[in-house]
Structure 1
Amino acid sequence: MGESDLKGRGGGVRTITDLARLAGVSPGTVSRALAGKSLVNAKTREKIEKLAREHGFRPNQMASGLRRQKTGVIGVAIPLGHDVRQQISDTFFMTLLGLLADELTDRGYDLMLRRVVPLSDEDWLDRFIGSGMIDGVIVIGQSDQFDRIEDVADGYLPMVVWGNHSEGQRHCVVGTDNRLGGRMAAERLIASGARNLAFLGDTAPIEFAARYAGALDVAERMGVLLRVLPTHLAPDQLGDEIAAHLSTHAGAIDGIFAATDTIAAACLAELHKRGVAVPGSVRIVGFDDLPIANQTVPPLTTIRQDIHAGARGLVDLLLRRLAGEETESLVLPPQLKIRATA
């Protein structure tokens, strides 16, 4: 999009993304420049401010416009940069979305859901918050979009993210201490007699990477093998990948830490088909404590994250930020739920 294209629009530049394209910088740089952040060099700031004046774009125009407008709608975005074939019908997403819908309805808000594949839509977050259709946004999962979310957080207050908290990050997060949960999972597998462990999951998403890192902490300390068997949550991959892993490593694994309960349940089903006893030959620990964890045969030992408390926290913090308050992140403690698989 060239400068003449933007000038030809009625009302000039409408969003931070428009201005960023015109200036040849990222939307985050525009946000920081208009907010007077010292991270942007003087020459770039002057260029952005000049373009903003020429096109009638005022600093914080987007955020103030949304506050003025009060649409009564909260946007919920699910970025799937790491696993583009994953579906929002995934049990975890549906559980959290249902709880968020209840919390938002109780507070007088409607919910607008957007599934995003960042590979084909790099400016997905800027366009969503600049659409004029929402008062604020909840992002479910950081996926591989940490930097994109950080950039937007510099200039946009009413955003809260479900994900993993890292020291020094700028965006506000609600989520579980995933690394601690990973440690608890590995400790339980080892305590139940496992000595050859496997992590089944995708270590690209930040939350899953933290779970694996926690398990690796324990495995290295205890002198136990922990291998990574990449496993995706897309329905057309999950079953085949688990079957291939179990065929390749038959008899070599006696403990499985599954990145989610969904993966754990699929492992149980495949082991049952193969006549492998759980927990006699293989122990399994999942993560989430979704309703399915109590319904598997045998019932699943898992790491519980309090999704109910998480949904309440996401909405509470977002409404406080809508009121102009800077808020801290909320990190929830994981809990080991011992059932029959480990």
Structure 2
Amino acid sequence: MADAPAPTKIKMTDIARLAEVSLATVSRALADSPLVPDVQKQRILAIAEAHGYAVNQAARNLRTQSTRTVGLVLPLGHETGQQMTDPFLLELVGFLSEEVFRRGYDVLVSKNLSPQTGWLRTLVQSRRFDAMLVLGQSDQHEEINALASLYNPMVVWGQRLPDQGYCSVGVDNEDGGRLAAEHLLGKGRKTLLFLGPTQVPEVASRLKGFRAALTHAGLKLTPSQIVETHFTPDSAYETVKGLIASRRRFDAIFAASDVIALAAINALTDAGRSVPGDVSVCGFDDVAMSKNTSPALSTVKQDLRLGAQLMVDLLFRRLAGERTSSAVLAAGLIERASS
């Protein structure tokens, strides 16, 4: 028996004829353009699907000079040891990726350790993505600011700074620090420590609110109560272990992240200290694991799901040419057993 003839490959012109529309309308519909009414777009897509038409995405990208990809960029100048497995990064990257995927775009993750001058502009000029989400300012505020006037489709997760020219989304870190201090003071704690990398803008703002609350309560935050600590669990564990070994007196810890707080609890319990009996501990972030530890972690919540939705919405508005303002999310205290 002779082989059956291969089916004729349908072309865009055939779809236009069947749908009784122009070739340009078919092209726009297949590209999901908002210029085509939804009813007409769905009819064109149904005809294309019924006849096995597949968009050559690579060719279309070349024609439009679009990658349909969003870059998720992590500048880690301050924290070269922080891994993508960090619970905060995992959750934020997950929420952001889902929002980007929902808009029909792919994600390219770029982690930059110890960035050099001009690295961000070089990354943009590589044209590997159409728009960029920067996850944290690290120590790269000036680098991000320098790019902002030249590159519009960029949104940054981080602290809103007075001189910034870029669009940012982040929690009210100063208010979060204040809430943590007031909570620990309300539990009768007198000697509070602050743990975190204070050169990071978000952390510096948390410290500012923490200090203000202590001042309002008539307490002075001395330099020895501010303990520089990396975001990595091993570093935080060793820091708290050292504090205990030095016989430092303290009855509360406010950690700049949940990862630091959980490492602090481990160090305290390993040394025979009771949490919260001897030392109350409060973190920052409210990552998913914080409620399932023993004891469950008191923390300052930043709504990462809402933050991701805002970031991606602002990014696509900026990709369309709009100039958008920054957004600041409310912080909220979550009281659990650790305090």
Query: After TM superposition, is the score higher than 0.5?
Result: yes
- 5 Å-filtered alignment, 1:1-342, equals 68-119=64-115, 121-226=116-221, 227-250=225-248, 252-342=249-339
Contact 1:197 1:225 in 2 (8 A): no
Note the C-alpha offset of 1:237.
Answer: 2.5
Q: Residues of 2 paired with 1:112 and 1:242: CA distance? A: 36
State how far apart, in whole Å, the 1-side matches of 2:294 and 2:75 are: 32
Distance 1:136 1:253 in 2: 46
Secondary structure of residue in 2 paired with 1:203:
coil
Question: 1:335 and 1:139 mapped to 2: Cα distance?
Answer: 24
- Return 166-175 or 232-241, whichever deviates more: 232-241
Could you tell me how far apart the structure 2 residues matched to 1:94 and 1:248 are?
Answer: 34
2:253 aligned partner, one-letter code: I
- CA distance in structure 2 between the aligned counterparts of 1:126 and 1:314, rounded to whole angstroms: 20
Deviation at 1:279, TM superposition (A): 1.3
Distance 1:199 1:212 in 2: 7
Structure 2: how far apart are the matches of 1:295 and 1:225?
Answer: 34
State the Cα distance separating 1:128 from its structure 2 match: 1.3
**Partner Cα separation in structure 2 for residue 148 and residue 321 of structure 1:** 19
Q: Percent identity?
A: 41
Q: Give the superposition deviation at 1:168.
A: 4.1
Q: Secondary structure at the match of 2:93?
A: helix
TM-aligned CA distance change 1:125 to 1:221, over 3 Å:
same
- CA deviation after TM superposition for structure 1 residue 225, in Å: 4.5
**Counterpart residue type for residue 322 of structure 2:** E
Task: Return the offset for 1:235.
Answer: 4.8
Q: How many residues align?
A: 276
Structure 2 gaps, min length 5: 1-60
Mapped contact 1:66–1:134 kept (Cα < 8 A): no
- Letter of the 2:283 partner, please give it: G
